[in-house]
Amino acid sequence: MVTPPPDPFTVQGFDLPAGSSIYRVASNARPVDVFNPGHGAPTRWAFFGGPPVPVLYAAQDEVAAVSETLLHDIPHKGGLLLPDAYMDKVAARLVTRRDLRLASFMGTGLRALQVEARDLTDSDPTTYGDTVQWAAAAHTAGFAGVVWMSKRCNTDRAYVLFGDRVDPGDLEIDPGYARVFAQGPDRDWLIDLCGPLHIEVMVKGA
């Protein structure tokens, strides 16, 4: 069970400077810099508030972004990545246009909160009803989002940004990077990434 966030909320801050690149994998049905206003199943940090605070998930690099999305529900022992899971997905790089102050749920940030990763950022989906309260506490404390070490690629940082703290103009889509997983070269990249991870990428019509 995840303990409630402490009061006072003694979290450390993490500065994501202007000009930082962050990566996200999202549906091609909407622009990649659009925040989710509250649609879909609960996640570790969403949704909270009434009306819900919009969120945008991203990661430090493209491998972590794929790991936290397309590969999120595939067991560590391996499995199949079905076409329906990736055919409508794209990867994009966003660049921050101003400094963003995030609540740190990693490293000494966890120690400052007197919790371990397994109790907050590395817990399973059954705890999402509890972990989301920590995101709400970070929001109440004035942070623009949360940073933690990706559970599924734990060498890299993952981010969630709060849509009422980050304006549309604060993130810029980098036109120099994109992956469309339905297409040959980017699908091949995904297959090459997944092979050593014991994940078979299923190709439609093959």
Does the pLDDT at position 1 exceed 90? no
User: What pLDDT score does 205 carry?
Assistant: 63
CA distances from 87 to 58, 173, 189 (A): 19, 21, 14
Is residue 154, in this structure, part of any structural domain at all? yes
What would the two tokens of residue 102 be?
């995030």
What would the two tokens of residue 122 be?
């590395």
Q: What angle do CA 6, 12, 13 make, to 5 degrees?
A: 130
Is residue 156, in this structure, part of any structural domain at all? yes
CA distances from 7 to 39, 105, 114 (A): 30, 16, 12
Work out the percent of the chain whose per-residue pLDDT is above 70: 99
Mean pLDDT of the chain: 96
Is residue 155, in this structure, part of any structural domain at all? yes
Q: Which helix (H) or strand (E) holds 132?
A: helix 128-140
Does the pLDDT at position 80 exceed 70? yes
Is residue 22, in this structure, part of any structural domain at all? no
Across 129-138, average pLDDT:
98
What would the two tokens of residue 65 be?
């972004």
Is residue 90, in this structure, part of any structural domain at all? yes
Question: Cα–Cα distance between 25 and 84 in angstroms, integer?
Answer: 14
pTM beyond 0.75, yes or no:
yes
Q: Which helix (H) or strand (E) holds 192?
A: helix 184-194
| 50: containing domain | 28-201
Is residue 129, in this structure, part of any structural domain at all? yes
Count of domains for the chain = 1
Is residue 187, in this structure, part of any structural domain at all? yes
What would the two tokens of residue 194 be?
């997944």
